[in-house]
C-alpha cells in the first residue's frame, strides 16, 4: 500500500462502525491520524468499538453528541448508511468539514488499478463475474473483490500491489462520499429509480451514481448500459473513453447480444446457452464483464471457460439444487419489483412456481402483473402477500397460495410443482418484516429445500 503522509497528526472523526468503519479507523490510525470513532451502538454490545479501544483508538459510543464537532476535525469518514440528514453530518457540513466514505481512503492508498462497478441492479453479479474473468488463466497478480460486496475497500487496498486489480462494488451511498476517487475502468450496469428515502430525488440518486466517472480521463474506460436513455445522454459529458453494451442493439464499438450470442467488437465470444446463469439480466451482466475483461486483455477462451462455469452468487438467482426433477433457485436479493421481473425473464413462466412477499412499503404490485402471466403457481408470504395475490389474480394465475413465511412456502411450492418445473424465490420485497436481511431469508429458503430431501 502507499504509505501516504497527509493524515499524520490530523484529527479525523469516523462516524459509524460496521466493517467499513472498523477498517477505516484502523487504517487512519496506522497512517498517523488522531482518530476518534463515534458509533450509536452501546459500548458493552459493540465488539468493534472494544477492539479499537484496545488498539489505542478513542471511541465514543451510544449516541452522536453534536459537541464532538467542537474539536476542530480536519475530516469526517462517514459510514455509507448514515444519511446526510443526520444532525452530526449536517453540522459537519455547516462547518465545511470534508465528508468522505472509506472508498476514498482506499483509492488514496491502493497500489493496484481500480475497477469500479455501480448501478441499480446487477452490481454484485457483475463484480463477481469480472473478478472471475480477470483471474482466469492469470499469470501475474490477482483480482480482489472489494466494496459493497462485503470486503471493505480500505482493508483490501492495504494488501494489493501494482500487478493486482481491485474490483470494487460501489453503492450510491459510497460514491456520494468521494472526492479524488478515480477508477481506471468504471461500470454502470443500469440506472432505475431507487433509494429515494435516502437521496430524496431521482436526480440526486443519478448524480451520486455518475460520480464514479468524475475524475476519469481519456486514458480510462467507462462501460455503460447503452439502452438506458439516461446513460446515453450522460455519456456525452464524460472525459472517459466510453465502451457501451446492450442486449437490444448491435454495437460495433462495444459488447452486444444478437441471435442468441454474445459479442465484443463484432467478435463472437460465446452463446447465451453456455452461460451458467439464466436470464436476460445476466446476459447484460456478462456483457459488461466481457467488456472489462477485453479491455484488460483476457482471451476469449478464458472468458468462455469462466462464464460457462459461473453458477451465480448467493441469493441472486442462485441455483440451489434439483429434487425430484424440480430445480430450486434462491433470488432473495430481489427486494424490488424490477429485480423479480428480471429473474422471471430467465424462465418459461408456465414452468415456474414463484415464492414472493415481504415488507409492505405502501406500493401496489400492478407493475408486476405482466411478469406474473402464465405462472404455474405463486406461494405468497409476509406483509405484502395479499397485495401480490391481487396482482396474481389480474395476471390470471390459477393457483395462488398464502402462507406464513419462506420456510412454510417451500413444501407448498413443491407440492404444486411437477418434474422439469422451477421453484423460484424472488420476493419483490425487502425482508425486514420477518427477517433481518435478505441473506437470512435466502438461507431459510435453502434450509427448507434441504429438508425436502429428507
Binding residues for ATP: 119-125
| Residues 164 and 144: beta-carbon distance below 8 Å | yes
**Torsion over CA: 54, 55, 56, 60 (sign):** negative
- DSSP-based three-state secondary structure for 24: helix
How far is it, in rounded angstroms, from Cα 303 to Cα 261?
14
| Residues 306 and 299: beta-carbon distance below 8 Å | no
Indicate the annotated binding residues.
119-125
How far is it, in rounded angstroms, from Cα 281 to Cα 129?
13
In the β-sheet with 99-100, what is the strand arrangement from edge to edge?
Answer: 58-61, 34-39, 11-15, 75-78, 99-100
| Residues 401 and 412: beta-carbon distance below 8 Å | yes
How far is it, in rounded angstroms, from Cα 62 to Cα 87?
15
Cell of 139: 499469470
Render the burial of 129-148: b for 16+ CB within 10 Å, e for the rest.
bbbbbbbbebeeeebbbbbb
Using a 10 angstrom Cβ sphere, with 0-12 exposed, 13-18 middle and 19 or more buried, the burial of residue 51 is middle
- DSSP-based three-state secondary structure for 447: helix
- Hey, which bits of 265-390 come out as E strands? 267-271, 318-323, 326-330, 352-356, 377-380
The residues that bridge with 100 in the sheet, in sequence order, are 77
How far is it, in rounded angstroms, from Cα 445 to Cα 44?
33
Amino acid at each position: 500500500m502507499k504509505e501516504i503522509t497527509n493524515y499524520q497528526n490530523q484529527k479525523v472523526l469516523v462516524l459509524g462502525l460496521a466493517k467499513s468503519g472498523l477498517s477505516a479507523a484502523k487504517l487512519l490510525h496506522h497512517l498517523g491520524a488522531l482518530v476518534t470513532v463515534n458509533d450509536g451502538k452501546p459500548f458493552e454490545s459493540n465488539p468493534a468499538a472494544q477492539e479499537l479501544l484496545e488498539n489505542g483508538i478513542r471511541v465514543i459510543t451510544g449516541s452522536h453528541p453534536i459537541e464532538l464537532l467542537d474539536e476542530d476535525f480536519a475530516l469526517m469518514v462517514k459510514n455509507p448508511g448514515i444519511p446526510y440528514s443526520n444532525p452530526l453530518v449536517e453540522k459537519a457540513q455547516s462547518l465545511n468539514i470534508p465528508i468522505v466514505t472509506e472508498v476514498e481512503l482506499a483509492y488514496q492508498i491502493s497500489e493496484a488499478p481500480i475497477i469500479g462497478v455501480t448501478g441499480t441492479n446487477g452490481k454484485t453479479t457483475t463484480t463477481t463475474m469480472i473478478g472471475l474473468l480477470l483471474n482466469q488463466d492469470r499469470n501475474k497478480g490477482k483480482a480482489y473483490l472489494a466494496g459493497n460486496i462485503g470486503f471493505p475497500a480500505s482493508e483490501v487496498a492495504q494488501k494489493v500491489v501494482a500487478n493486482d486489480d481491485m474490483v470494487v462494488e460501489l453503492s450510491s451511498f459510497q460514491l456520494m462520499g468521494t472526492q479524488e476517487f478515480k477508477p481506471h475502468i468504471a461500470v454502470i450496469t443500469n440506472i432505475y429509480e431507487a433509494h429515494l428515502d435516502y437521496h430524496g430525488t431521482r436526480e440526486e440518486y443519478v448524480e451520486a451514481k455518475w460520480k464514479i466517472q468524475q475524475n476519469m480521463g481519456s486514458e480510462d474506460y467507462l462501460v455503460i448500459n447503452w439502452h438506458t436513455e439516461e446513460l446515453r445522454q450522460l455519456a456525452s459529458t464524460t472525459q472517459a473513453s466510453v465502451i457501451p453494451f446492450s442486449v437490444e442493439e448491435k454495437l460495433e464499438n462495444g459488447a452486444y447480444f444478437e441471435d442468441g450470442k454474445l459479442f465484443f467488437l463484432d467478435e463472437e465470444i460465446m452463446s447465451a446457452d453456455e452461460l451458467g446463469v439464466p436470464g436476460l439480466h445476466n446476459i447484460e451482466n456478462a456483457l459488461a464483464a466481457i467488456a472489462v475483461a477485453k479491455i484488460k486483455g483476457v482471451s476469449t477462451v478464458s472468458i468462455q471457460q469462466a462464464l460457462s462455469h459461473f453458477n451465480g452468487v448467493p441469493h441472486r438467482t442462485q441455483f440451489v439444487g434439483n429434487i425430484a426433477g424440480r430445480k430450486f433457485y434462491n433470488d432473495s436479493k430481489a427486494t424490488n419489483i424490477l429485480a423479480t421481473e428480471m429473474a422471471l425473464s430467465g424462465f418459461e413462466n408456465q414452468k415456474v412456481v414463484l415464492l414472493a412477499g415481504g415488507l409492505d412499503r405502501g406500493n401496489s404490485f400492478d407493475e408486476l402483473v405482466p411478469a406474473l402471466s402464465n405462472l404455474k403457481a405463486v406461494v405468497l408470504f409476509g406483509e405484502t402477500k395479499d397485495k401480490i395475490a391481487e396482482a396474481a389474480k389480474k395476471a390470471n394465475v390459477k393457483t395462488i397460495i398464502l402462507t406464513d413465511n419462506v420456510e412454510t412456502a417451500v413444501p407448498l411450492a413443491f407440492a404444486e410443482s411437477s418434474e422439469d418445473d422451477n421453484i423460484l424465490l424472488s420476493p419483490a420485497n425487502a425482508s425486514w418484516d420477518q427477517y433481518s436481511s435478505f441473506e437470512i431469508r435466502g438461507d431459510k429458503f435453502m434450509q427448507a429445500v434441504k429438508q425436502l430431501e429428507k
